[in-house]
Structure 1
Amino acid sequence: SAAVSVLQGDIAVAKKDAGKACQLYEQAIYFDPNYKEAYLKFADVYKGASPQLAIEKLEQLKNLDPSCVAADKKLAEVYYLNNKFDKAAEAYAHFINTPEATEDDLTKYSFALFLNHDFEKSLQIALMGLQKNPRDAAFNRLAMYNYTDLKRYDEAMKAADAFFKESDKADFSYLDYMYFGHLLNAVKKYDQAVEAYMKAITLDPAKTDLWRVVSSSYELNNEFTKAIEAYKKYSESLSADKRTPDVQFQIGKLYYEKGTQSDTLTVSLDERKAALVSADSIFTEIAKAAPDSYLGNFWRARTNSALDPETTQGLAKPYYEEVAAFLIDKNDPRYNSALIECYSYLGYYYLVANKLPESKEYWNKILAIDPANATAKRALDGIK
């Protein structure tokens, strides 16, 4: 009979003979196609090794009895186990409001929705879980993640508080601290964001990409020396082929920001100058490494302009001239703002040098691109 075959199948499972067990469960179904337990046990054996066979068997059971909650539960489990989170979410939805749904089902359903980027629905399920168990770490975690992704930062901060301070048996992971860091960044608590990111890095030192985010937090907090250190750690963690001009470029920009920041109290004039010299040497390398891009010389121009704030030495002049020539050849309106910056510098340089015809030429070039440009109009009025 079907019951005997299922019992023999269970014995085969206990002896770790999966093939024999499934043959016996199939035999039970042959004896009695309505024997649901045989379908569920077959799926249970194959859920990890051959998920497709498990799913097919459960679909057969669903065809037999579309309202079978046990089939939906097992389908959800198989899909979830095999990272098919969209299908898992569909299966959970069928039974999540029935008495058979456990807290574990709610957690997995919410997490499957979260991984599918359905943050609103995932949050709704997590909050449902929190009504049943307010101190559950998984539900508080999912509330924090979802509120953060939904940019509902005030609620996310409350959820983070509940998660980190008021959850039972919470085991904090790399991802928890990374999310918390992102949240603290979003609410402009940059010092605390760095602390959270550092905890994440401690838990998983291989995730070196996070040094880039740490650098960004320091940068947003105008702590450029620390931002540079963190970005260098990120750069050093990359293999040689990944250390592209883009990576160097960011370090150069951080040195430039350090050299041009408005806070003159904490950063001395000598330090600012040294930072600009470092920026210039990096942008020089970039100009050589990527000759088909104007950005290396463009940032050399900006850096040298900062090294010569009165524009009396014309340190930036050769670089702005080179960039202007390069961009004119491109003949692309996307570069108009960069061209205007070049012409503005050159117009001002000649004005300071009292070479008025040359100065007028550059202000007029700006008006040819942007007839309403107020700076160019003012300069030309002054020259008259």
Structure 2
Amino acid sequence: MKQIKFLGLSLLLFGMANAQDANDAIKAIDAEQYQKAKNTLKSLIASNPDEGKNYFLLGDIYLTQAKQDSAAIFFNQGKSVKKDAEYNLIGLGNIDLNNGDAAAAKVKFDKVQDEMRRRDVDQLVYIGRAYIYADNPDYKKAIEILKKAVEKDDKSAKAYLNLGEAYYRDKQQNEAYRAFRTASQLDNGLLRAKLQLGVLTKNTRAAFPEAVKAFNDIIAQDANYGPAYRELAETYYLWANTDTAKYNQYIKQALDYYEKYMKLTDYSLDSRMRHADFLVLTRDYKALEQEAKKMQQIDQVNPRILRYLSYSAYENGNFEESLTAMKDFMSKVDPKRLIARDYLYLGLAKLATSVGEDEQGNATITDQVVFDEAIENIKKAAEMDIEITNEFNAIGKKLFGQKLYGPAAVVFDIATTNPDNRNLFYDNFYLAYSVYYNHVNMSEEDKKQDTLQLQRADSALAVVVEMSPDAQDAYLYKARVNQNLQSEEAYRKMAEAYDNYIRIVTEKGPEEVQKQKANLIEAYSNAGAYYVVTNKQKATEYFNKVLELDPEDAYAKQQLEQLNK
């Protein structure tokens, strides 16, 4: 009996130790220490292969890291063990959701719910999480499931936490706030709930100091909670892009906090990739190149490393290396994993490697096929993510500066399709600017086929004028564009645009008049020529203005002679 009691006590203690180890793994997962959590769970599976939840937790980490094949291995192993095997059906259902098979996922989730005991809640929480974090999420369904969880146990902080996440992703911010707050009140040690309350504050984009305080309060409670440092890094990144006067200061703080986050999680390949993603955001391409090369030393197979090598190589001026890395990356990665920025850098690298200089130092296209591919790649980037057009201004300006006006016009035209583009004013102006200079450099025959582009330029300048009614250069180029359209209506619009240009410049006073002398002579002369037919008095006035600026102007003298006959 003594031996049996001792054995029973040993088993009890082992069970307690095992549970504690599983909790340690769960805490490591929450702290985003994924490698530590994986090591713990693999050890638990080796020592207690009949506990199904450990297989599920391990597989779930691999899903988090987008390693679905590895996740499936552990879910399939765990679904046949003696205890808690049903969790692995949830994991397999999550994979079904990723693959777009919601019906198959529902069958598995329903089976889990049918076999749940009356007081079970965790299974519902994990089903809800599957709907939240799947590649094809269904936030409404997640909310429905997680509401069931809180109805069964209104003291489950974990259920409220995940309900808050579902609301947050479904853009129901008030409900998300209430759920996160309830989770934090139920369990003061549940730092993730407090973290998400800070995230809600951060994402208002107007309460950065309050968000910083929220994350620092978490650090005061647990200085080793890495995700709080990551959120501080992201807060300062957003703040830097809002308060541009302090951009360098805040970006430095962002990078420092991210380094702290890295030290508190791990320097595994996955952590380094998260770091690389942040370096892309903060445009620290020297550090990105170093990080990418360190990742290559760890894993020479993972194709995602090539993405970072391509980005950093381009930004650091190594264009051929960038193009090679991106082509290699795209040939190896699942096409579903390609993002808009991949196509953008592919296009940029092709542009850089297909444009050279002639003997006079003028830009020249050295490989038209590759150059045309580059423009198509840049278009593809915009099709995948319209927000990336915010970065097209610099691309278009570079092409414009190289006097590649036609391609520049294409880039600016794509950029203007985004009504929320922060460069919308300048992109519309440069679109018209590029179209105009491309047109005047055409052969007479090609000019006849360019009417639609000139009309597009006129429309773009109308947007500029609407956004800034006193943009004098917009009126100047609107006049020039319409002059080249050569229709009766276009000539009328030309004269009207010149009138506005003249008005704005003269209102600024003698200094601006002198500065714009050549353009004013153009405006008075061309508008005057139109008014010779429609308004002789105004024509006379305008040609006299030309002579005030240049008493020897032969054209103005000739026109006045004709008008005075």
TM-score range, shorter chain: 0.5 to 0.7
Give, in whole Å, the separation in 2 of the partners of 1:289 and 1:101: 49
- State yes or no: 1:143 paired with 2:309: yes
Residues 206-259 of structure 1: per-residue CA shift (max 9 Å, x gap): 65848977x95998765579939x83x7656638x9998777656654653454
How many Å apart are 1:132 and its aligned residue?
Answer: 3.3
Kindly indicate whether residue 332 of structure 2 is the aligned counterpart of residue 175 of structure 1: no
Distance 1:90 1:11, change over 3 A: closer
Distance of aligned partners of 1:178 and 1:339 in 2 relative to their CA distance in 1, 3 Å threshold: same
Q: Does 1:326 align with 2:510?
A: no
Corresponding residue number in structure 2 for 1:197: 378
Distance 1:173 1:291 in 2: 38
Partner of 2:255: 86
* 1:294 aligns to 2:475 (yes or no): no
In 2, Cα distance between equivalents of 1:207 and 1:196: 15
Contact 2:479 2:494 in 1 (8 A): yes
In structure 1, the residue matched to 2:281 is 115
TM (norm. structure 2) is 0.41
State the Cα distance separating 1:47 from its structure 2 match.
5.5
Q: Partners in 1 of 2:391 and 2:264 — Cα distance?
A: 43
Alignment CA distance shift 1:207-1:336 (3 Å): same
Q: Name the SS for the 2:193 alignment partner.
A: coil
Q: 1:83 to 1:192 in 2, by over 3 A?
A: farther
Q: How has the CA–CA distance of structure 1 residues 254 and 169 changed in structure 2, closer, same or farther, with 3 Å as cutoff?
A: closer
For residue 350 of structure 2, what is the aligned residue in structure 1? 184
- Note if contact 1:120-1:146 (Cα within 8 Å) is conserved in structure 2: yes
Which runs of 5 or more residues in structure 1 are unaligned?
21-44, 60-70, 367-375
Q: Which structure is richer in relative contact order (CA contacts within 8 A, separation 6 or more)?
A: 1
Deviations 1:79-135 (A, max 9, x none): 447864635532266589xxx742223323333333333221221121122133333
Percent of aligned pairs with the same amino acid: 14
Which of 518, 521, 539 is matched with 1:343 structurally?
521
1:98-137 correspondence runs (5 A): 101-137=267-303
Contact kept? 2:269, 2:295, Cα under 8 Å: yes
For 1:330, give the aligned amino acid.
Answer: K
SS at 2:192's partner residue? coil
Mapping of residues 25-64 of structure 1, within 5 Å: 46=190, 48-51=192-195, 52=215, 55-56=219-220, 58-59=222-223
User: Which residue is 2:436 aligned to?
Assistant: 256
Of the structure 1 ranges 192-201 and 124-133, higher mean CA displacement relative to structure 2 is found in 192-201
Structure 1 residue 136 displacement after superposition: 2.3
Determine if contact 2:387/2:418 at 8 Å carries over to the other structure.
no
CA contact (8 A) 1:145 1:179 kept: yes
CA distance in 2, matches of 1:290, 1:109: 41
When the two chains are superposed, the root-mean-square deviation of aligned CA atoms in Å is 5.5
Unaligned runs of 5+ in 2: 1-12, 27-52, 54-120, 123-154, 159-188, 196-214, 235-253, 356-369, 533-541, 558-565
Distance 2:523 2:345 in 1: 43
- Looking at structure 2, the residues matched to 7 and 184 of structure 1 have their Cα atoms a distance apart, in angstroms, of 56
Residues 286/148 of structure 1: CA separation in 2 closer, same or farther (3 Å cut): closer
SS of the equivalent of 1:262 reads: coil
Shift of 1:142: 1.2
How do 1:207-222 residues align onto structure 2 when only pairs under 5 Å count? 207=387, 209=389, 216=396
- Does the 8 Å CA contact 1:258/1:272 hold for their aligned counterparts? no
Separation (CA, whole Å) in 2 of partners of 1:195 and 1:284? 27
Contact 1:157 1:183 in 2 (8 A): yes
Amino acid of the residue matched to residue 91 of structure 1?
A: K
Determine the structure 2 residue equivalent to 1:371. Answer: none
CA distance in 2, matches of 1:134, 1:297: 56
Return closer, same or farther for 1:79/1:169 CA change in 2, 3 Å cut-off. farther
What is the one-letter code of the residue matched to 1:297? Answer: Y
2:480–2:494 contact (8 Å) kept in structure 1: yes
TM-score by length of 1: 0.57
Task: Name the residue aligned to 1:365.
Answer: 549
Give the distance between the partners of 1:138 and 1:209, measured in 2 at CA.
23
